[in-house]
Structure 1
């Protein structure tokens, strides 16, 4: 199973405050442990929302709002893509992440092709395969 681990933003991340050398070293060690175990697929921090935008879609068009955005529980400061055998295993790994007290993450399972059932036709499956092959070449 694949999971996206969403790291929630806080005042420091939204202010652009960078982690300390010690925090970077601890996170690097944690990421290395996940890599050695074959768990991590990707993981990155995100710039503050002042450098981002949101797009809201309507029947007529798509409207753009540029950041910064008000600090709320829905802002994201970073993410991991991990692969584990279960949600419980993902939770066990993430409980070991070296975060400061008060930090918050969210763990969400990523849909697999099989989850879409018959709606995911053979033609759509072929298209998905081509897209993934193309992206892997980059």
Structure 2
């Protein structure tokens, strides 16, 4: 089962575009990342720039609307993510509890849909789309 663990860092909503983690914070996180890797559960991970350097594209009356960050209405923002492959939701939670969080940080865990989670009509509608995780033939 694949799970995405979303890092929601406290205060990141208001972080300046040039905000970067400290060397100490990166060192702690790299130890955690290495443990995921050594356990064979890590599929992907990335840290994200603050929302103040982001852009949102939405649809308004059938037209694309582009808004540069920061985004005042955001309460929590994603600062990074891990994609892991584990046997159960409880195992995903156990990994998240090992993460070196700062006070106020949160990790949200969300299971990834697999095609087998959908009824036959949905699977049929998706036929012919190649899995982007697989190399092209």
Give 2:95's aligned residue.
93
Q: Which runs of 5+ in 1 are unaligned?
A: none
Q: CA deviation at 1:132?
A: 4.2
**Alignment TM-score, normalising by the size of structure 2:** 0.84
Matches of 1:4 and 1:20, distance apart in 2: 24
Give 1:49's aligned residue.
51
Q: Which runs of 5+ in 2 are unaligned?
A: none
Q: Is the 8 A contact 1:39 1:83 kept in 2?
A: yes
Matches of 2:133 and 2:12, distance apart in 1: 36
Q: 1:96 to 1:54 in 2, by over 3 A?
A: same
Instruction: From 18, 24, 35, give the equivalent of 1:22.
Output: 24
Give 2:123's aligned residue.
120
Matches of 1:23 and 1:93, distance apart in 2: 18
- Cα root mean square deviation, aligned: 2.1
Alignment of structure 1 residues 104-119 onto 2, 5 Å: 104-118=106-120, 119=122
Q: Is the 8 A contact 2:55 2:69 kept in 1?
A: yes
* More moved, 106-115 vs 60-69: 60-69
Q: Is the 8 A contact 1:8 1:73 kept in 2?
A: no
Q: CA deviation at 1:30?
A: 0.8
Q: CA deviation at 1:72?
A: 3.4
**Alignment TM-score, normalising by the size of structure 1:** 0.84
Q: CA deviation at 1:59?
A: 5.0
- Residues 44-98 of structure 1 show CA distances to partners (whole Å, capped at 9, x for unaligned) of 1100112211111245222111111127334111111111111110000110001
* Number of aligned residue pairs: 133
Structure with the higher fraction of residues in helix conformation: 1
Q: CA deviation at 1:128?
A: 3.0
